[in-house]
Amino acid sequence: MITPTQRFYTAAPRPPRKVAKGIDRGADWVSGAFRRRSSTLRRLLREAEASLQWLEQKIAPLSEDAFQEKLDDLHRRFRRGETSSLLTREAFAAVSRVAQESMGLTPYREQIAGAMAIHESLFAEMATGEGKTLTIGLAATLSGWTGNPCHVITANDYLAQRDAETLSEYFAQCGIRAGFVTGSMKPPERISQHQSAVVYTTSQEILADFLRDKLKLGSEQTPQGRLIQHLSSGGKSSGEALVMRGIHTVIIDEADNILIDEAVTPLIISQTMPGNSFAQCCSIARDLGAALETGIDYTIDYKHSEITLTHQGIAAIGRHSHRFPAIWRSYDRRNELVRQSLVAEHFFIKDKHYVITDESKVEIVDEFTGRILPGRTWKQGLHQTIETKENIPVTDPTETLASMSFQRFFRMFHSIAGVSGTASESSAELWRMYRLAVVCIPTHRPVLRKIEKVKVYPNEAAKYEAVVGEIDAMHQTGRPVLVGTRTVEASEALSRQLTELQLPHTVLNAVRHKEEAAIVSEAGKRGSICIATNMAGRGTDIKLSEEVLSLGGLHVIVVEHNLSPRIDRQLIGRSARQGEPGSARYYIAPDDELLIRFLRPRERKQLQQRIASKLPGSTGLALNACRKAQKTAEKMGEKQREAVLKMDTWMEEHLAFTRASAR
């Protein structure tokens, strides 16, 4: 039973801390660099070592009963809010023994150091395959013991469930319950799962639950008001129907993806508004748009994905407007509708930005990850416009009830910690936005990955031909190959080519995300070929047999560079895990999207000529160009995230009278 005061504390999100501006930003950077200094890591490793010794000397000899008593004692001390380095050391030693007994896994030094980093609200960069699940589990136990809600954020529903289930025995032995929340769950089940000490879930689910709870709270937004209401109404409160216990501690797996790449995509709670004649509007807009001419009636800015109507265009739309319903009388509205239809026509490409599911629905594809974002829709008629474009039934537009960016949401936790294989590239931003200092935990065994020489081709066709050749060659040797593509479209195209050559392969992309985990676990078999959009099957190990290891392990082909070097690193990180052998190779062509979007046309042309001339040094030039383009892309992303932050801060300050900004 949660007491009202407990509810008051646990359910009260922390107001997001101000992000340093101006000169303070420099000072803030320095303090971040100080927090990330190398002695932090050395201390963590020392502490982990000490903890392992403690396990060996003090904990291991304990009898079953004495150990249980020890656990209960630790549990109590954490609930009381005790903190000391000795307590932490002892606690980690104890939970390590539980891990040993429940799962047969003895955490090694690096895992404990990682768990300690999480416990200290740091960002632990741990390479793929280093046993992050256990690491997070160890740290989550300590948070769970405190009685504050502790959420572990995983990359997808599958992983949330898998991790919670794998560790459930372990958590039970530690005296706490681990729950998980997935998208398909209904509210009653969610409520019961959220009562667990540690809740495994995805970022979408937790934020959705949080926002829905907020909507339920209505005008009792502030914790103070809620407490007064609760006490004065004899324990009755709208809070009773709340799904969550509130937010306090969060441990995020693949945190760079959630805190950086997906940070600005807002989660939106919406309801459909039926009976709207929007479908008709969209088809009129499409017809009008089709009648307009590029360059005369409107201009296209590809770099910024923008369409601007010219005076002729506006006049042309005006000439027809009288034939249509009332909404077309409004000058702004009709131009906006046509413009949107043109945007949908020119910038939204099927299988790249969205896919059409078997049920004839438009589903958005995350451009960064290549994954489908189920249930998400574009706003203000764009979704309907695209449905019109694809000639599928137009859905009712939705009305937003609440929305929040992940960036803002994760800034509201009292304590936040992250784990990921790749983070150091963004350490400055992670510190500035979330006060997360990145600590690079070393791998348990040395990395044996061989990165082969980059291959550069003058155009995409030549590149694909070479990729297919390499896949074929690898296949002959029997080594499994993982091919990373950026888009669903590319993976399908590559698949067609392989089918032509009768090479057996599996495709892992956003369209077939349900089979992800199964395919990934098969991807390590001898001679298997797996084509995947860049982050498909994240969080699942590609297990290799002895035979495959002797052949040289998994080979990863990066067909084109991603917008962020972190994602490239993630992809090649799938090979050569845990000291196994493995190799990876990058391919570059000047018409890679990264280079088209973020390199100046002149530079790209030079690169093209250089590659075509086959002069030596073109590889280096191409690599440099990629790095430069990635830097530009990162900068643009960062600017976008700053803009969202600015907007959020503005809203918080200026719309403080609304419940959306109330805490």
Q: Which residues contact another protein (rule: CB under 8 A)?
A: 15, 219, 221-222, 225, 301, 304, 326, 329-330, 332-333, 336, 379-380, 399-403, 643, 651, 653-663
Task: Decide if 167 contacts 253 (C-beta within 8 A).
Answer: no
DSSP notation for 572-596: HTTSS-TT-EEEEEEEE-TTSHHHH
Residues 6+ away with beta carbon under 8 Å from 204? 183, 267
CB nearer to another protein: give 44 or 404.
404
The span from the CA of 369 to the CA of 262, in Å, is 9
Nearer to another protein, 530 or 633 (CB): 633
Nearest approach, Cβ of residue 500 and another protein (Å): 44
Buried b (16+ CB within 10 A) or exposed e, 610-622: bbeeeeeebeebb
Rank residues 424 and 649 by Cβ distance to another protein and give the closer one. Answer: 649
User: In the complex with another protein, which residue's Cβ is closer, 70 or 339?
Assistant: 339
- Closest contact distance (angstroms) between CB of 658 and another protein is 5
Which CB atom, from 539 or from 637, has the smaller least distance to another protein? 637
The residue among 18 and 323 lying less far from another protein, judged by its C-beta, is 18
Instruction: Decide whether 277 or 658 has the Cβ nearer to another protein.
Output: 658
Which H or E run includes 261? none
The minimum distance between CB 599 and another protein, in angstroms, equals 16
Residues 198 and 144: beta-carbon distance below 8 Å:
yes
Task: In angstroms, give the least distance from the CB of 220 to another protein.
Answer: 9
Looking at residue 508, what DSSP letter applies?
Answer: E
Distance CA 485, CA 595 (A): 15
Strand 306-309 with 298-301, pairing:
antiparallel
Closest separation in Å from C-beta 499 to another protein? 43
Within 13 A of 156's CA, how many CA atoms are on the CB side?
Answer: 18
Contact (Cβ atoms closer than 8 angstroms) between residue 581 and residue 555: no
CA distance to 393, 467, 556, 574, 576, per residue, from 544 (Å):
46, 23, 14, 11, 10
Report the nearest approach of another protein to the CB of residue 213 (Å): 16
Q: Which residues pair with 298 in a beta bridge?
A: 294, 309
Helix (H) or strand (E) holding 371: none
Question: Which residue type, as a one-letter code, is found at position 663?
Answer: R
- Contact assessment for residue 267 and residue 404, using Cβ atoms and an 8 Å cutoff: yes
Smallest separation (angstroms) from another protein to the CB of 208: 15
Nearer residue to another protein within complex by CB, 304 or 323: 304
Beta-strand ranges (E) seen in 421-480 are: 438-440, 448-451, 455-456
Report the DSSP beta bridge partners of residue 294.
298
Q: Which is nearer to another protein, 448 or 660 (CB)?
A: 660
Nearer CB in complex with another protein: 21/605: 21
Name the minimum Å distance from CB 661 to another protein.
Answer: 7
Q: How far is the CB of 380 from another protein (least distance, A)?
A: 5
Residues 6+ apart with CB under 8 A from 101: 173
Which residue bears the tokens 């990145």? 438
Distance of closest approach, residue 660 Cβ to another protein, in angstroms: 4
